[in-house]
Structure 1
């Protein structure tokens, strides 16, 4: 894919920002984090350190900022970056409503302009993790981390992409795309709920990229919809997501 993913995705998220306000308000109000499109409870996942007192943290692609809000409650000093001015407007309002002191920056996670080795912890949940080319944003994330710093990101499982019909309709039990050579998909002109340009890799390609960039893998999780889940979310039916992993979480570390 050679199209300008930054401007395309920025325009889409600016136009769609109003539709995420209610979701953002609900997630900001949670006492305990929930992750991904099916709201998986944080217990057992441990995407965030339980105590983040004194930690300098950055969220790459913050959307409405709820993950940043959760980190501030755990004691972190948080910087949150997003490409969408409209999403950031919601994030700033909600941070003020909740008394959260967060530094919000409008910018591209591929090239933040922030100083080297400025953070202890970085996270992306459906932000840079799917909307930016992995080789670019992960190199930038590593540059931002101090030696020993941790990186956690959650995004679509590659299986959910190869089972997604070309017209964008909900996942089914057919392999619609090749797994070999996977790099992502352009959803801007599909028939069913068009969105933006997303990125993904095969598991072996993710592993090779981490090695090339200089990240150690400290954990990997595959997420399913809960047994009680129903309906369809982001073109993935609950009946599919209960049987096959819909999301993946990578836990990485920059060597000392």
Structure 2
């Protein structure tokens, strides 16, 4: 069953697609792999296998598909899926420009329609990691992965959600929202910078869900802004993010 958030987020990202053409172009053309809003380097975050030759990989919520391109350059056969036709138009244009062969599908990462056990590796940077229902997209990732396959994803740290004022202003060193039963965040009608519909969980609830599905946890990272950062990005205060983690990375495996 398709939730209300799916159509809401499709409309939001189609409306935003033009704003992400140039960032997508820059990421496709960059010689470096960097992650998240603070561009933490792959040498520190280590989200991708160094050698992906012979691997089937999928990016869940691929947007302009620059991560799919990074994986293809490491030797993987890559599929990207995204709900936004506008984002995928940019991805297809850049794939043709860079002569990189990707399979790009317009669809919902919560129910891809792809065959069981099709992939060795799955990844989401934001994308499905925050815009899709975790009860659905994580189970779909499990279904898509072969035994021994890995899932890594990066999204907002739950502390960001707890410290964001109810009007949508930038996060503060004050708790505004409860951690208990944290799950859904409808930003469509907030006063400041209205957006789409996001999901997040407390750490304990993430781990409970992984265990229910069957994933084992290989690693977890909390990401901060650089120590000298003063820039505000999106709803994240640049000074706040020097002292508090604004992003998280989960690294999971589907056991053999």
Does TM, normalized by the shorter one, top 0.5? yes
Equivalent in the alignment of 1:44: 44
1:174: how far off?
1.2
Partner of 1:111: 111
Q: Give the corresponding residue for 1:202.
A: 202
Distance in 1 separating the partners of 2:40 and 2:130: 19
Deviations 1:52-106 (A, max 9, x none): 0010000000001100010011000000000000000001101111111000000
Q: For residues 227 and 18 of structure 2, what CA distance do their matches in structure 1 show?
A: 30
The corresponding residue for 1:215 is 215
Q: Would the aligned equivalents of 1:55 and 1:121 in 2 still touch at CA under 8 Å?
A: yes
Q: Which residue of 1 aligns with 2:187?
A: 187
Does 2:171 align with 1:171?
A: yes
Query: Which position in structure 2 is the counterpart of 1:81?
Result: 81
Q: 1:115-126 maps to which residues of 2 (within 5 A)?
A: 115-126=115-126
Q: Which runs of 4+ in 1 moved over 6 A?
A: none
How far did residue 3 of structure 1 move? 6.2
Q: Alpha-carbon deviation of 1:203? A: 0.2
Mapped to 2, the partners of 1:135 and 1:3 lie a distance apart of 12
Stretches of structure 2 that go unaligned for 5 or more consecutive residues are none
Over the aligned positions, Cα root-mean-square deviation in angstroms equals 1.0
Q: Do residues 237 (structure 1) and 256 (structure 2) align? A: no
What is aligned with 1:141?
Answer: 141
Alignment partners' CA distance in 2, 1:164 and 1:44: 27
Aligned match of 1:91: 91
**1:184: Cα distance to partner?**
2.7
Question: What TM-score, normalized by structure 2, do the two folds share?
Answer: 0.98
Q: Distance in 2 between matches of 1:171 and 1:231?
A: 13
Q: Are the equivalent residues in 2 in contact too, given 1:38–1:229 (CA < 8 A)?
A: no
Structure 1: stretches of 5+ with no match in the other structure: none
C-alpha displacement of 1:231: 1.7
SS at match of 1:237: coil
Aligned partners of 2:3 and 2:212: how far apart in 1?
Answer: 25
Question: Structure 1 residue 193: deviation in Å?
Answer: 1.0
User: Which has the larger displacement, 103-112 or 231-240?
Assistant: 231-240
